[in-house]
């Protein structure tokens, strides 16, 4: 009795809140959309676009940061935004193949704390893109999703890591030259 | 340990003279070394129980209550550890790690702007509809509220962080409460309860009483986690694993045993190994002997291995008219093994159950024995003290328990499952002999004690009653000592220091499982009388928490809501007074106590 009596009561409020949240996240996403249009020139490394039919689906093209093996590449990200956004983080993954210790080589899943427990509602899709660019420049080999890549870095084989990463950047993230 | 020794000494000297034993009946049983060590925490006293810890932290660090709570939750209510961190790393670090912001952001000098841009909904909001948290971050109330709701529903009430980037600050609980209760009062209540119950959930010294239906209490122990306790609702449990009190069986062994008893697969295995249905009439047929050709009562012969019908002529390895591709010698071995394992299990289980069952029967006997005593009390003028009957009975219950749980212990101690590679066969045999010797001695004396108590001693003449009395007193002493010795044998000779880390066993308590005493609560007053004026904030946050106890107690007929303000927990049950004066403080099964 004492523990958890309120589950039934919660359910009663649940439905309306869901609609409310959806509305709030829509409004916020719409604001972000407008902001993105304005910032396009300010941040040429990020190009965020919203799906024409679904404001909860976004894609982004980000430029590989300079002085990294990803330089010169353009990487595509897919965003799936939950209804509780921005109280809960969007799901983001790489659509472009990338050789990076914190990105799953097959699925493109990203291991980044702000997309999990360190998420704050003050983040935006744009700032998430910036955080991902920062991650590309500063990999965290100790929590690898790509073990090969993580092991190269951890064993100190920076050169091996860079050449692999550069190869995949050339193969997957650069426009094919005719 | 000291207690055990003194008890031992006691019985050694007491066995010589009857007077010595009589003293046992009337005099103080033992000198408790540290006083009662476990406490019952009821929903009424839950707040008061944490008051002491809160007060210590509040006073030492001159903090508000909610900051103290945040620190304590972060350090799992371990005040000593919290103070150690304070000494080691300093106040700033202690606060930062736990997410406490003590910097007050007072912008009172500058009038607030009429509107503030909320970074979450990216909306311009009138200042009055925003809240600035202690860390200095300001967002609109509806964003805060939604954030709190998501976190509370996620079960994160105890650590709701600020919404800003990389801000580790824990949100002020009164802000959470106020904002959430405006739209969702039920959830605000849930939030309060989560905060209060953190004291139980996140505290290695406190555990919920495992009774079902739940009595609503929790038990707090002072030092040793490996002990057995009795809640004020009467349920006795192992503090370490929250299942029924099971010593001298270790928690790990008990868990395996319970699973094994629940899991009937062993029996099912046996049936599938030992019977097969006849291909003709489909009756189950049991195999006897090593031969694989079996015949059903209907006359049909069939092959045991594949179940196929056969003719009758056969040799050991082949059956006429049938070529079986499935014969494997190890199949036979497996069957043998399954049978052996099952018999072994049944051996231990039968004895375990026999003692549990007689324990239950003897509980019922308690009533009839009481009657015998009252008959004697009327009849005999010379014999007035019959406390030996109760004492003997209680000793019987206690010893039966020990005996009963010693069988699952032995099952695992001398079986293959846990200790196969821990000792050689010879070692195992020596240990098993040693243990079984003790077990049998205990068993024999327990049965004797039981026999004397069951005897119609109310019809005896004075001399024979005296004789019975002496026997009962004597056997009580012997069984107590034997129980004690069995625990010692397990600890010293069987498990050894290495295994004791894995197989923790609550120590034997001659007097029975410790009954948790109700928390005597006066800290609520102490906080207010401590001389320090408390910040007004404290009173206001404490109130809704206090009220909580009063609002959910419709199932409590004893109406204790009024006592909440003083923080005194009412003594709900008087049943701790067992007939016989309760001096001989052995644990009785709950149902007996209830009936009394
Ligand atoms: Zn807002
Ligand atoms: Zn903050
Ligand atoms: Zn209880
Ligand atoms: Zn246990
Ligand atoms: Zn048949
Ligand atoms: Zn045969
Ligand atoms: Zn066959």
- Choose, out of A122, A128, A130, A131, the residue to mutate when testing the contact with B (most B CBs < 10 Å): A122
A10 touches chain B (CB under 8 A): yes
Chain A CB contacts of B142 under 8 Å are 24
DSSP structural state of residue B135: T
Give the angle B582-B587-B588 at the CA atoms, nearest 5°: 90
**Taking the CB of residue B394, how many other CB atoms lie within 10 A of it?**
21
Mean pLDDT of chain B: 76
B331-495: CATH number: 1.20.120.1750
- Give the gap in angstroms from C-alpha A159 to the nearest C-alpha of chain B: 33
Chain B CB contacts of A17 under 8 Å are 149
Chain A CB contacts of B122 under 8 Å are 28, 31-32, 35
User: Cβ contact (<8 Å) for A87 and B122?
Assistant: no
Please check whether residue A152 is in contact with residue A99, taking contact to mean a CB–CB distance below 8 angstroms. Answer: no
User: Cβ contact (<8 Å) for B186 and A35?
Assistant: no
CA B322 to chain centre: 59
- Give the gap in angstroms from C-alpha A93 to the nearest C-alpha of chain B: 21
Check pLDDT > 90 for residue A66: yes
Catalytic sites of B, residue numbers: 291
Least CA distance to B189: which residue of chain A? A6
Give the distance (Å) from ligand 4 centre to CA of residue B247: 8
Give a three-class secondary structure readout of A63-83.
ECCCCCCCCCCEEEEEEECCC
User: Cβ contact (<8 Å) for A1 and B552?
Assistant: yes
DSSP structural state of residue B571: -
A118 touches chain B (CB under 8 A): yes
Give the dihedral sign, CA A14/A19/A23/A26.
positive
Task: Take residue B539 and report the two structure tokens written for it.
Answer: 């009173």
CA A17 vs CA A22, B309, B517: distances in Å: 8, 68, 45
Per-residue b or e along B414-452, where b marks 16 or more CB atoms closer than 10 Å to that residue's CB = bbeebbeeebeeeebeebeeebeebbeebbebbebbbeb
Please check whether residue B406 is in contact with residue B248, taking contact to mean a CB–CB distance below 8 angstroms. Answer: yes
Least CA distance to A4: which residue of chain B? B190
- Give the gap in angstroms from C-alpha A84 to the nearest C-alpha of chain B: 8
Of A2, A28, A31, the CB nearest to B216: A2
Give the distance (Å) from ligand 1 centre to CA of residue B108: 22
Chain B CB contacts of A126 under 8 Å are none
Residue B285 main-chain phi, psi, to 5 deg = -120, 135
- What's the pLDDT score for residue B332? 64
Task: Take residue B472 and report the two structure tokens written for it.
Answer: 């009962």
Q: Which of B42, B40, B38 is nearest to B556 (CA)?
A: B42
ipTM value for the complex: 0.71
**What fold, for B106-201?**
Herpes Virus-1 (3.30.40)
User: Cβ contact (<8 Å) for A2 and B150?
Assistant: no
* From A154-163, B54-63, B88-97, B390-399, the region with the lowest mean pLDDT: A154-163
pTM > 0.95: no
Residue B592: which pLDDT band, with cuts at 50, 70 and 90? Answer: very low
Boundaries of every domain in chain B: 106-201, 278-326, 331-495
Pairing of strands A74-80, A91-94: antiparallel
Compare A41 and B555 and report the one with higher pLDDT: A41
Q: Give the integer Cα–Cα distance in Å for B250 and B418.
A: 12
* From B301-315, B442-456, B546-560, the region with the lowest mean pLDDT: B546-560
Check pLDDT > 80 for residue A42: no
Q: In sequence order, what are the residues at sequence separation of 6 or more whose Cβ sits closer than 8 angstroms to the Cβ of residue B436?
A: B410
Give the distance (Å) from ligand 1 centre to CA of residue A30: 14
User: Cβ contact (<8 Å) for B164 and A120?
Assistant: yes
User: If residue B218 lies in a helix (H) or strand (E), which one and from where to where?
Assistant: strand B218-221
Give the ligand with the smallest distance to the CA of B299. Answer: 5
Please write the tens of the pLDDT for every residue from B533-571: 333 333 333 344 444 433 333 343 343 333 333 334 333
Q: Give the integer Cα–Cα distance in Å for A118 and B372.
A: 71
Q: What is the mean pLDDT of residues B568-592?
A: 37
A 58-87 near B (Cβ less than 8 A) = 84, 86-87
Over pLDDT 70: what percentage of chain B?
Answer: 69
Please check whether residue A139 is in contact with residue B186, taking contact to mean a CB–CB distance below 8 angstroms. Answer: no
Mean pLDDT of chain A: 84
User: Cβ contact (<8 Å) for B122 and A28?
Assistant: yes
Q: Give the integer Cα–Cα distance in Å for B535 and B538.
A: 6
Least CA distance to A8: which residue of chain B? B186
Q: In sequence order, what are the residues at sequence separation of 6 or more whose Cβ sits closer than 8 angstroms to the Cβ of residue B349?
A: B261, B407, B411
- What's the pLDDT score for residue B512? 84
Task: Take residue B229 and report the two structure tokens written for it.
Answer: 């306790």
User: Cβ contact (<8 Å) for B150 and A88?
Assistant: yes
DSSP assignments along A71-117, one per residue: TT-EEEEEEE--TTTTTSPPEEEESS----TTB-TTT-BB--GGGTT
DSSP assignments along B144-177, one per residue: HHHHHHHHHHTT-GGG-B-SSTT--PBPPHHHHH
- Give the gap in angstroms from C-alpha A92 to the nearest C-alpha of chain B: 18
- Give the gap in angstroms from C-alpha A155 to the nearest C-alpha of chain B: 31
Give the distance (Å) from ligand 5 centre to CA of residue B305: 16
User: Cβ contact (<8 Å) for B119 and A122?
Assistant: yes
Q: Which residue has the tokens 């962080």?
A: B161
Order across the sheet with B514-515: list the strands: B236-238, B228-230, B514-515
Q: In sequence order, what are the residues at sequence separation of 6 or more whose Cβ sits closer than 8 angstroms to the Cβ of residue B317?
A: B327
Q: Which of A112, A53, A122 is nearest to A85 (CA)?
A: A122
- What's the pLDDT score for residue B98? 92
Give the ligand with the smallest distance to the CA of B285. Answer: 5
B184 touches chain A (CB under 8 A): yes
- What's the pLDDT score for residue B372? 84
Q: Which residue has the tokens 């009839």?
A: B368
Task: Take residue B287 and report the two structure tokens written for it.
Answer: 């195999």
A35 touches chain B (CB under 8 A): yes
B264-267 contacts, C-beta under 8 A, 24 or more apart: B266/B338, B266/B341, B266/B342, B266/B345, B267/B342
C-alpha torsion angle, residues B506, B510, B511, B514 (rounded to 10)? -10
Q: Using only C-alpha atoms, what is the Rg of chain B?
A: 33
DSSP structural state of residue B507: P
Least CA distance to B42: which residue of chain A? A2
Task: Take residue B218 and report the two structure tokens written for it.
Answer: 């929790």
User: Cβ contact (<8 Å) for A86 and B187?
Assistant: no
Of A3, A13, A21, the CB nearest to B146: A21
- Choose, out of A115, A120, A130, the residue to mutate when testing the contact with B (most B CBs < 10 Å): A120
Check pLDDT > 70 for residue B273: no
Of A3, A10, A86, the CB nearest to B187: A10
DSSP structural state of residue A55: T
Which SS3 state, helix, strand or coil, does residue A13 take?
A: helix
Please check whether residue B244 is in contact with residue B236, taking contact to mean a CB–CB distance below 8 angstroms. Answer: yes
Over pLDDT 90: what percentage of chain B?
Answer: 32
- What's the pLDDT score for residue B23? 42
Please check whether residue B449 is in contact with residue B395, taking contact to mean a CB–CB distance below 8 angstroms. Answer: yes
Residue B191: which pLDDT band, with cuts at 50, 70 and 90? Answer: very high
Pairing of strands B517-518, B38-41: parallel
User: Would you call the peptide bond into A118 cis, given omega within 30 degrees of 0 as the criterion?
Assistant: no
- Give the gap in angstroms from C-alpha A152 to the nearest C-alpha of chain B: 30
Q: In sequence order, what are the residues at sequence separation of 6 or more whose Cβ sits closer than 8 angstroms to the Cβ of residue B229?
A: B38, B219, B221, B236, B237, B239, B513, B514, B515, B516
A21 touches chain B (CB under 8 A): yes
* From A169-178, B136-145, B379-388, B575-584, the region with the lowest mean pLDDT: B575-584
**Taking the CB of residue B326, how many other CB atoms lie within 10 A of it?**
10
- Give the gap in angstroms from C-alpha B119 to the nearest C-alpha of chain A: 6
Please write the tens of the pLDDT for every residue from B30-45: 334 445 578 999 988 8
User: Cβ contact (<8 Å) for B120 and A86?
Assistant: yes
Please check whether residue B70 is in contact with residue B50, taking contact to mean a CB–CB distance below 8 angstroms. Answer: no
Q: Give the integer Cα–Cα distance in Å for B172 and B131.
A: 11
């Amino acid at each position: 009795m004492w523990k958890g009596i309120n589950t039934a009561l919660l359910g009663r409020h649940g439905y309306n809140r869901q609609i409310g949240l959806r509305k709030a996240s829509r409004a916020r996403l719409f604001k972000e959309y407008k902001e993105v249009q304005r910032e396009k020139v300010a941040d040429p490394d990020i190009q965020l676009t919203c799906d024409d039919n679904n404001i909860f689906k976004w894609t982004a093209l980000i430029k590989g940061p300079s002085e990294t093996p990803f330089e010169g590449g353009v990487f595509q990200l897919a965003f799936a935004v939950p209804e509780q956004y921005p109280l809960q983080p969007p799901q983001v993954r790489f659509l472009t193949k990338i050789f990076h210790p914190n990105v799953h080589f097959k699925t493109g899943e990203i291991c980044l704390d702000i997309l999990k427990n360190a998420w704050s509602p003050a983040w935006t899709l744009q700032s998430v893109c910036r955080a991902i660019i920062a991650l590309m420049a500063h990999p965290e080999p100790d929590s690898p999703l790509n073990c090969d890549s993580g092991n190269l870095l951890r064993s100190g084989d920076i050169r091996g890591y860079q050449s692999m990463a550069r190869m995949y950047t050339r193969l997957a993230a650069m426009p094919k030259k005719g | 340990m000291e207690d055990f020794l003194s008890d031992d000494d006691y019985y050694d000297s007491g066995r010589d003279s009857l007077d010595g034993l009589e003293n046992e009946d009337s005099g103080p049983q033992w000198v408790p070394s540290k006083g009662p060590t476990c406490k019952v925490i009821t929903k009424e006293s839950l707040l008061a129980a944490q008051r002491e810890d809160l007060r210590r932290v509040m006073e030492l660090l001159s903090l508000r209550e909610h900051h103290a709570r945040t620190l304590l939750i972060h350090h799992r209510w371990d005040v000593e550890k919290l103070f150690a961190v304070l000494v080691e790393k300093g106040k700033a670090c202690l606060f930062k790690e736990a997410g406490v912001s003590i910097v007050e952001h007072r912008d009172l000098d500058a009038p607030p702007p009429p509107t503030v841009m909320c970074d979450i909904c990216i909306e311009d909001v009138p200042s009055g509809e925003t809240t600035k948290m202690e860390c200095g971050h300001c967002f609109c109330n509806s964003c805060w509220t939604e954030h709190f709701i998501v976190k509370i529903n996620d079960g994160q009430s105890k650590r709701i962080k600020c919404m800003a980037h990389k801000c580790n600050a824990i949100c002020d609980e009164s802000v959470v409460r106020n904002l959430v209760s405006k739209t969702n009062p039920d959830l605000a209540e849930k939030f309060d309860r989560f905060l209060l119950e953190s004291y139980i959930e996140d505290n290695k010294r406190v555990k919920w009483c495992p009774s079902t239906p739940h009595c609503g209490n929790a038990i707090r122990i002072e030092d040793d986690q490996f002990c057995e306790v009795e809640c004020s609702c009467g349920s006795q449990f192992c503090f370490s694993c929250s299942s029924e009190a099971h010593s001298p069986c270790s928690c790990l062994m008990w868990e395996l045993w319970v699973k094994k008893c629940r899991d009937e697969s062993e029996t099912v295995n046996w049936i599938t190994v030992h019977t097969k249905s006849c291909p003709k009439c489909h009756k189950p047929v049991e195999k006897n002997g090593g031969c694989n050709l079996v015949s059903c009562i209907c006359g049909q012969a069939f092959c045991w291995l594949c179940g196929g019908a056969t003719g009758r002529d056969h040799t050991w390895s082949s059956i006429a008219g049938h070529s079986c591709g499935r014969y494997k010698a190890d199949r036979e071995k497996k069957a043998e093994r399954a049978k052996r394992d099952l018999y072994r299990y049944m051996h231990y289980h039968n004895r375990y159950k026999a003692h549990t069952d007689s324990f239950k029967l003897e509980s019922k006997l308690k009533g009839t024995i009481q009657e015998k005593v009252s008959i004697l009390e009327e009849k005999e003028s010379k014999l007035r003290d019959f406390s030996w009957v109760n004492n003997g009975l209680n000793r019987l219950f206690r010893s039966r328990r020990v005996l009963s749980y010693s069988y699952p212990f032995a099952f695992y101690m001398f079986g293959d499952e846990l200790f196969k590679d821990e000792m050689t066969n010879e070692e195992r045999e020596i240990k098993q002999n040693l243990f079984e010797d003790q077990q049998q001695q205990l068993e024999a004396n327990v049965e004797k004690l039981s026999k004397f108590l069951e005897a119609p001693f109310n019809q005896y003449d004075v001399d024979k009653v005296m004789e019975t009395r002496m026997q009962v007193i004597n056997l009580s002493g012997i069984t107590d000592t034997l129980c004690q010795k069995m625990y010692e044998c397990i600890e010293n000779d069987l498990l050894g220091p290495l295994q004791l880390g894995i197989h923790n066993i609550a120590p034997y308590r001659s007097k029975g499982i410790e009954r948790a005493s109700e928390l005597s609560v006066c800290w609520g007053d102490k906080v207010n009388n401590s001389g320090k004026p408390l910040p007004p904030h404290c009173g206001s946050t404490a109130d809704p928490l206090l009220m909580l106890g009063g609002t959910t107690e419709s199932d409590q007929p004893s109406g204790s809501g009024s006592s909440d303000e003083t923080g005194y927990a009412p003594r709900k049950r008087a049943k701790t007074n067992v007939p016989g004066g309760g001096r001989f403080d052995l644990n009785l099964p709950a149902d007996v106590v209830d009936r009394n």
